[in-house]
Structure 1
Amino acid sequence: MNTMRTGLLMAAMMGLFLAVGYLLGREQGMLIAFVIAAGMNVFAYWNADKMVLRMHGARQVDRQSAPEFYAMIEELSKNAGLPMPKVYVMDNPQPNAFATGRNPENAAVAATTGLLQLLDRDEIAGVMAHELAHVKNRDTLVMTVTATIAGAISMLANFGIFFGGSRDRNNPLGFIGVILMVILAPLAAMLVQMAISRTREYGADRGGAEISGQPLALASALAKISGAAHQIENPTAEANPATAHMFIINPLSGQRMDGLFSTHPDPRNRIEALQKISHEMGQVARPRGPWGQMNEGRSGPWG
C-alpha cells in the first residue's frame, strides 16, 4: 500500500512538472530547468552521504571502538539480507538516528549518543532496524528522484516570469496566471515531497519491525525519543533543516503535528500502526528479545 501510494505521489509530482513546464516555459524552458536541476541532484546523489555525515559531526566506529553497537548492526544487517553498512555515532544529546547512502552497497547508519544512552538494547535495535529498512527500500534513491523533480519545478517557477510572463498571445495563463503558478507550483511540489517522505517512514517502520522482530520495542523507542527530541535542541539540525527528513524523528523543534508541512508522521500514528503490526505477528506484550538486558542511562559500550 505504501509503495503504491509513493508511486502515485511521484507520478503526481512528474505530472505537475510537465504541466508547469508546458504552461510556463514551453519545451525549451522545461528542458533547461530539468537539466540544471538533474545535474545538481546527481551531484548530491553521489556526495550527499559524505556531506550529511560531516555536517552532523558523525564519527565512524568499528568492532574495536564500539563492539556491542557494531555487532548489533551486523546482526540486523544479516536479518535484513543487506551488506554491512558503515556505522557512525554523532556526539549529540538529542536521541535520533538516520541512514544515508545511494544504495545498499554504499550505505551508512548513524545514531546519536543521546539515543544510545536513553534507550535499552531492544529499542536501539528497533530504531537501527528502521534505518536499515530505509536502506533496503532504497528510500534514499526515492527521495533523490523526488528532490530532482521538485528542484526542477522550483527552477521552472523562477523562469516563469521570463518564459511565461511575456505578452505572448499563445500563453494560456496570462500574466496573473503566471504569477499564481510561480507561487503555487513550488508549494505544491513541496507538499507532495513531504507526503512521500511521510509515506516512506511508515514503510520503514514496518520493515524495521520485520527485521528486528520487535515492533513494540520500536514503538517504545518512538515514544521515548519523540518526547525527548522536542525537549533537547539539536543545533546542527536546526542549522541544516534540509536534512530533517532523514532522521527517524523530526529533529527540529516545534513540529509535533502530522500536518501538510511535516516531514514525519505523528509519532502517535506510527506507534498505533506498530501495535497493529505486533498483533499481526502474534505479539501481545513487549518481549525482552535477543538483545540483552535493559540499558537505560548507560553509555559505556556504545562508543
Structure 2
Amino acid sequence: MFGNWMKTAILMAAIVALFGLIGGMIGGKTGMLLALIFGAGMNVFAYWNSDQLVLRMYNAQEVDAYSAPELYQMVQELSQRAGLPMPRVYVIDEHQPNAFATGRDPEHAAVAATTGIMQMLTPRELRGVMAHELAHVKNRDTLISTISASVAGAISVLANFAMFFSSGNDREHSVNPIVALLVMIFAPIAASLIQMTISRAREFGADHAGAEISQDPQALAMALQKIDAYARGIPLHTAETHPETAQMMIINPLSGAGLAGLFSTHPATEERVARLMAMARGGY
C-alpha cells in the first residue's frame, strides 16, 4: 500500500511541475507561480471530487439489489471475498463493452460497467471483470487513475492558453509563437506519458489480483479477448472526447487513431491473456 501512495505522490508532483513549466513559458515567474497554485488546487480538488466527475462524465447511473440484482449481488460476493467494503455500483448505457473502478479509497469506491459488457459476456466472464475492477480498488489504483484522468485534461486546457497569449498585442508579455506551439503539442503528450508510466503495470497487477479474488483466471482471460475484439469496432464517444479517462477502463476504449494509438495506457491484451492462462495452468 505504501508503494501505491508513493506512486500517487510522484504523479501529483509531476503534474504540478508540468503546470509550473507551462505557466513559466506563458507568463514567466508570475505565470509559473499562478500555474503552480492552480496545479496544487487541481490536485486537492481531484482528490475529493474526481470520481464523481468521471461518473457524471459517462452519465453513469447508480444501481442496487433491486434495479440490477445480478450485477449487484456479483459485486457484493466478490467484495466480500476481497475483504473490501461494498462499493457503489453503476451502469453506463453504452454499447461498447467496458468497465472501470473509481474512488479515492476502498471506503469511497465505485465500480461501473457498460450495458454492452453486461450483454456480451457470460456471468462467469463478467464476474472475472468485476473481480479485476475490485482488485484496482484493493490495490488503491483508483486514486491514481481518477486524479490523473481529471488533471490530465486540465493540462491540455492550460497548454492551449499558450497559443492565446502568443497572439496578444502586448509584446512584452506575449509568448513566442514557436514556443507556444511546442507547449500546446508536447504538454498533453507529457501528461499522457505520466499516465502511461503507472497505468500499464497497474493493469497486470489488477489482472493477477482479480484472478485470485475470483479464483478463475481463465474467465478473465476469455473476457479480455471478447472485449478487445468487440471494443475496437464500437465507439465510446465520451472516451473519444475525453481520452484522459481511457486509462481507467479495463480495455483501451479509444479507436486507436492518431496519438491516442501511439500512447496507449494499456498493455497488449495478448500478453495479459497469456499471463492469466499461465496462472490457470499453474493453479494460481
What TM-score do you get using the length of structure 2 for normalisation? 0.77
Query: When you count helix as a share of all residues, which structure comes out higher?
Result: 2
Deviation at 1:108, TM superposition (A): 1.0
Moved more, 151-160 or 189-198: 151-160
Task: Tell me, in whole angstroms, the C-alpha distance in 1 between the residues paired with 2:85 and 2:79.
Answer: 6
CA change 1:48–1:212 in 2 (3 A) is same
CA change 1:188–1:90 in 2 (3 A) is closer
Q: What pairs with 1:135-214 in structure 2 (closer than 5 Å)?
A: 135-144=137-146, 146=148, 182=183, 184=186, 186-214=188-216
CA change 1:191–1:211 in 2 (3 A) is same
Deviation at 1:195, TM superposition (A): 2.7
Deviation at 1:270, TM superposition (A): 1.3
CA change 1:18–1:61 in 2 (3 A) is closer
Task: Tell me, in whole angstroms, the C-alpha distance in 2 between the residues paired with 1:260 and 1:36.
Answer: 29
Q: Secondary structure at the match of 2:234?
A: coil
Contact 2:101 2:111 (C-alpha < 8 Å) held by counterparts: yes
Q: Is 1:64 aligned to 2:66, yes or no?
A: yes
Contact 1:83 1:105 (C-alpha < 8 Å) held by counterparts: yes
CA change 1:81–1:239 in 2 (3 A) is same
Counterpart in the other structure of 2:280: 278
Aligned partner of 2:221: which letter?
Answer: A
Aligned partner of 1:136: which letter?
Answer: K
Aligned partner of 1:94: which letter?
Answer: Q
Deviation at 1:30, TM superposition (A): 4.2
Q: Secondary structure at the match of 1:57?
A: coil
CA change 1:154–1:65 in 2 (3 A) is closer
Counterpart in the other structure of 2:265: 263
Q: Secondary structure at the match of 1:110?
A: strand
Contact 2:145 2:248 (C-alpha < 8 Å) held by counterparts: no
Deviation at 1:260, TM superposition (A): 4.6
Aligned partner of 1:202: which letter?
Answer: F
Between the two proteins, the alignment pairs up a number of residues equal to: 273
For residues 192-239 of structure 1, give each alpha carbon's deviation from its aligned partner in whole angstroms, at most 9, with x where no partner exists.
322322222222111211111111111110000111111222233333
Deviation at 1:8, TM superposition (A): 11
CA change 1:38–1:19 in 2 (3 A) is closer
Counterpart in the other structure of 1:250: 252
CA change 1:143–1:234 in 2 (3 A) is closer
Counterpart in the other structure of 1:113: 115
Task: Tell me, in whole angstroms, the C-alpha distance in 1 between the residues paired with 2:267 and 2:93.
Answer: 26
Task: Tell me, in whole angstroms, the C-alpha distance in 1 between the residues paired with 2:192 and 2:216.
Answer: 33
CA change 1:47–1:188 in 2 (3 A) is closer
Counterpart in the other structure of 2:217: 215
Aligned partner of 2:251: which letter?
Answer: I
Moved more, 46-55 or 67-76: 46-55
Task: Tell me, in whole angstroms, the C-alpha distance in 2 between the residues paired with 1:270 and 1:123.
Answer: 15
Q: Secondary structure at the match of 2:240?
A: helix
Deviation at 1:258, TM superposition (A): 10
Contact 1:101 1:107 (C-alpha < 8 Å) held by counterparts: yes
Task: Tell me, in whole angstroms, the C-alpha distance in 2 between the residues paired with 1:64 and 1:239.
Answer: 33
Task: Tell me, in whole angstroms, the C-alpha distance in 2 between the residues paired with 1:156 and 1:256.
Answer: 19
Task: Tell me, in whole angstroms, the C-alpha distance in 1 between the residues paired with 2:267 and 2:258.
Answer: 9
Counterpart in the other structure of 1:91: 93
Deviation at 1:148, TM superposition (A): 5.1
Task: Tell me, in whole angstroms, the C-alpha distance in 1 between the residues paired with 2:160 and 2:58.
Answer: 32
Moved more, 101-110 or 222-231: 101-110
The structure, 1 or 2, with the larger RCO (C-alpha pairs under 8 Å, 6+ apart) is 1
Aligned partner of 1:38: which letter?
Answer: A
Deviation at 1:131, TM superposition (A): 0.8
Deviation at 1:267, TM superposition (A): 1.1
Which runs of 5 or more structure 1 residues have no equivalent in the other structure? 168-174, 284-303
Counterpart in the other structure of 2:128: 126
Moved more, 140-149 or 153-162: 153-162
Task: Tell me, in whole angstroms, the C-alpha distance in 2 between the residues paired with 1:78 and 1:256.
Answer: 42
Aligned partner of 1:88: which letter?
Answer: Y
Aligned partner of 1:282: which letter?
Answer: G
Aligned partner of 2:118: which letter?
Answer: L
Deviation at 1:22, TM superposition (A): 11
Runs (4 or more) in structure 1 with deviation over 4 Å come to: 2-12, 14-30, 144-162, 175-181, 183-186, 255-260
